[in-house]
Amino acid sequence: MRGTVLVAGFATRHVVRSAWNAGYRVSAIDHFCDQDLCWYTDECRTFEELDDLSGVVDEFCRRHPVDLLVVTSGAEDMGSALPICGTPKERVRDFLDKLTIQDFFEREHIPVPPIVPATTFPCMIKPRKGAGGWRNRIVRSPAGERAWTEMWPDVPYIRQQVVDGIPCSVSCIANGSEARAVAVNEQLLRETDDDKAHGFAGAITPFDHPRAAELISIAEHAAGASGCIGSVGVDFMLGDTIRAIEINPRFQATLDTVEMATGRNMFDLHVSACRGILPPACQGRPPAFAARRIVFADRDLTVRDDLRSLSPSIADIPWPGTDIEEGGAVVSTFGWGKTRDDALAMLDKTISRVGRYMSRW
């Protein structure tokens, strides 16, 4: 074994599995502690509120030797006695606020959906803090905006011009001053009619598009200029103009499909970058395609079956007896193959298999 790693955050399975595959002994502090997270960890502890997380981490580190502390979504600016392997929290905070992200892109002359005045409709409302696109909503009238603010009172937000295009991202590895792209990803959104409509629901890697090289160039510039270290993702909307949307100074939810498609271990690349070593530049399209789609509950339900037999075509596997509210994530499903169509065909079969179980719950 290469050392001990503690991964802490709201959802950690994707990073834990990558670290385990890289040869580390891994423990996790995670909100869910799903079945397959426990497969790759020596110890897994849960927490309820993000405000409790730093205390749980410090208590864990007092009891166990930890060589590397890595954080995921929700824990990026967490305080801890142990230094974080990744972007320092002082730098991370600049990229947890969508208004400061907006300022960064404009300062770097990277096209971004412009901020619009209070009288402009339609507009995209985004809470200044939050991940995964949750609570982002297009509002078309003052009444729509009032409804949003009544649902989320006292939540600061920005108002952006609505832009059309294909949501996509570039997964980068950065050392604080330079960055290298590892993969370009097509992002799948939930596309419901509520505040989850623009939430992340999956990805396809690679995003085999004629303008992929442009996306890579912009992302490497942005990630390098950000001062972030390790795994860094840059989100885009690809329309007539490529517009940057966000920078994610952490491991992204696309990690699974990036590793499946490229055959590269993102945790290894992250740790090397924290030591100043960047991977070589992307050379052509990855050798395979991989797709992930999160399956959400269409009603309140209780998991009645053990789904472990469906692995590795599923992940984030809930324990039998788990209660899931309508709209909550049930499981991640995967497909892979030599072409995009092959990957999507396998993904559809996986979703159908999961659906047959869910129909009985």
The CATH number that applies at residue 53 is 3.40.50.20
Rounded-to-integer distance, Cα 238 and Cα 214, Å: 10
- Nearest C-alpha neighbor of 6 from the set 15, 196, 198, 130: 15
Q: How many CB atoms lie within 10 A of CB 59?
A: 12
The count of structural domains within the chain is 3
Q: Which CATH number goes with the domain that contains 347?
A: 3.90.1170
- Is residue 99 one of the residues assigned to a domain? no
- Is residue 301 one of the residues assigned to a domain? yes
Query: What confidence category does residue 191 fall into, taking pLDDT thresholds of 50, 70 and 90?
Result: confident
Do 119 and 49 lie in one domain? The reply is no
pLDDT for 195: 66
- Is residue 195 one of the residues assigned to a domain? no
Q: What range defines the domain where residue 346 resides?
A: 289-358
Give the rounded distance of the alpha carbon of 49 from its chain centre.
19
pLDDT for 193: 67
Please give the model's pTM, rounded to 2 decimal places: 0.96
pLDDT for 131: 80
Do 77 and 146 lie in one domain? The reply is no
Given a contact cutoff of 8 angstroms between Cβ atoms, the answer to whether 208 and 63 are in contact is: no
Q: Which of 42-51, 68-77, 250-259 has the highest mean pLDDT?
A: 250-259
- Is residue 63 one of the residues assigned to a domain? yes
Do 316 and 354 lie in one domain? The reply is yes
- Is residue 120 one of the residues assigned to a domain? yes
pLDDT at 217 over 70: yes
- Is residue 19 one of the residues assigned to a domain? yes
Given a contact cutoff of 8 angstroms between Cβ atoms, the answer to whether 55 and 39 are in contact is: no
CA-angle at 238, arms to 232 and 242, nearest 5°: 80
3-state secondary structure (DSSP) of residue 212: helix
- Report helix, strand and coil shares of the chain as percent, to nearest 5: 30, 25, 40
Name the strand (E) or helix (H) holding 56: helix 53-63
pLDDT in tens, 307-360: 999 999 999 999 999 999 999 999 999 999 999 999 999 999 999 999 999 999
Give the mean pLDDT of the chain.
95
